[in-house]
Amino acid sequence: MKFASRAGQTNKPKMAFSGYNKPVNERTISSFRKIAIAPHPSLPEANKEAYKIAQFLTQHGQESLMAMLYEEKLVQSIEKHEIDLLIVLGGDGTMLRAGHICGPYDIPILGINAGRFGFLMEIRLNEWKQYLPRLLKGDFWLEKRMMLFCSHKRAGVELTTHHVLNEVVVGRGKSVRPVHLETHVDGRYLTTYVADALIAATATGSTAYALAAGGPILPPELRNILLVAVAPHLSIDRGIVLAEGSSVRVIVHTDHDALLCLDGQTPISLLDQDQVDVCAAEHNACFVRFQDPGYFYRNLTPHMNRNPATGISR
């Protein structure tokens, strides 16, 4: 997606950001054909505000589509490249699902936080009237975040493939017994983890499950894969940051149930000798940002100090 630009209309034009982390002294003018608005279906307040946003866009001459996330008409419009921007209202889980849908088609996402945590979201639910005029004027920048491509194979046959924004988790099922996870990096044997699970995370996912398992926090612009074992027994117990462009292969050795889980979605059953391959995806998740590129570090401590004690992230 490309944005045309023109010089500011005042003597001192407002600083805008074009592309990733590249300030320019000019105001960009967006050229959206159609904007989709997708609220989380179980959040009444999100649905209410979504309709107001659709009315606002119509009043400003902007064509829009109102649909629930994963609704067929929304997915089809994205696949046909009929949508230039997706506005989602929900929590971090909603943002992850939006990334799955939009990432392969390079469609930017604006997250409006109607959930409880909102680490990935850009603005609060009561702030959209302040920011949408800026959006329509092109006064924003696009942040690209690496996604993972995951392939699940059995006996050499590829069963499923997935685009993942946070993490790929290979681990045990209902049994409390650990699984043996033979791990290779770039075709070379690394180690066999005896653990509850092994997490392969992006920089985005470094603040999610990987962080809870003791992994480091990575800046969102990095294109590395982070490996973190969950409850390893006499195995490597430190996170490993792989070089950009690395690939990971995990071969499952187990005599009980094992699972593959992608961004916390419904798990996939794994059998002994199943293989999970992970590498950087060809496409990125693209987030609309209004804050300056230093926002991540500025917001990090407040987010860490307000982890909700109850409830779930939608």
- Are 12 and 102 in the same domain? yes
- Are 34 and 124 in the same domain? yes
Domain contains 313: no
Give the pLDDT of residue 292. 87
- Structural domain of residue 8, as residue ranges? 4-140+290-304
- Are 27 and 64 in the same domain? yes
- Are 63 and 171 in the same domain? no
Are the beta carbons of 139 and 28 closer than 8 angstroms? yes
96 membership: H or E segment, kind and range = helix 92-102
- Are 233 and 254 in the same domain? yes
Q: Which residues, at least 6 apart from 76, have a Cβ–Cβ distance to it below 8 Å?
A: none
Domain contains 256: yes
Give the pLDDT of residue 294. 81
- Are 128 and 151 in the same domain? no
Domain contains 309: no
Domain contains 76: yes
What's CA 295's distance to the chain center, in Å? 17
Mean pLDDT by 10 residues, the chain (314 residues): 34 36 41 92 91 96 91 93 96 93 95 86 94 95 96 97 97 95 98 98 96 94 97 94 95 97 96 98 96 82 60 48
With H, G, I as helix, E, B as strand and everything else as coil, classify residue 147.
strand
The pLDDT tens digits for 23-78 are 333 334 457 899 999 999 888 899 999 999 999 999 999 999 999 988 899 999 99
| CATH number of residue 237's parent domain | 2.60.200.30
Q: Which residues, at least 6 apart from 52, have a Cβ–Cβ distance to it below 8 Å?
A: none
Give the pLDDT of residue 2. 37
53 membership: H or E segment, kind and range = helix 44-59
Domain contains 312: no
Residue 88: which of 80, 97, 79 has the closest Cα? 97
- Are 17 and 57 in the same domain? yes
Q: Which residues, at least 6 apart from 297, have a Cβ–Cβ distance to it below 8 Å?
A: none
Domain contains 254: yes
Domain contains 172: yes
| CATH number of residue 121's parent domain | 3.40.50.10330
- Are 88 and 155 in the same domain? no
For 164, counting Cβ atoms within 10 Å of its Cβ (0-12 exposed, 13-18 middle, 19+ buried), the class is buried
- Are 207 and 249 in the same domain? yes
- Are 136 and 151 in the same domain? no
Give the pLDDT of residue 306. 58
* HEC assignment per residue over 268-281: EEECCCCEEEEEEE
- Are 104 and 176 in the same domain? no
Give the pLDDT of residue 189. 98
Q: Is 92 a catalytic residue?
A: yes
| Active-site residue, selected from the candidate residues 92, 139, 263, 274 | 92
Number of folded domains that form the chain: 2
- Are 27 and 83 in the same domain? yes
Distances (CA, A) of 140 to 27, 31, 48: 9, 13, 25
Distance CA 235, CA 116 (A): 35
Domain contains 310: no
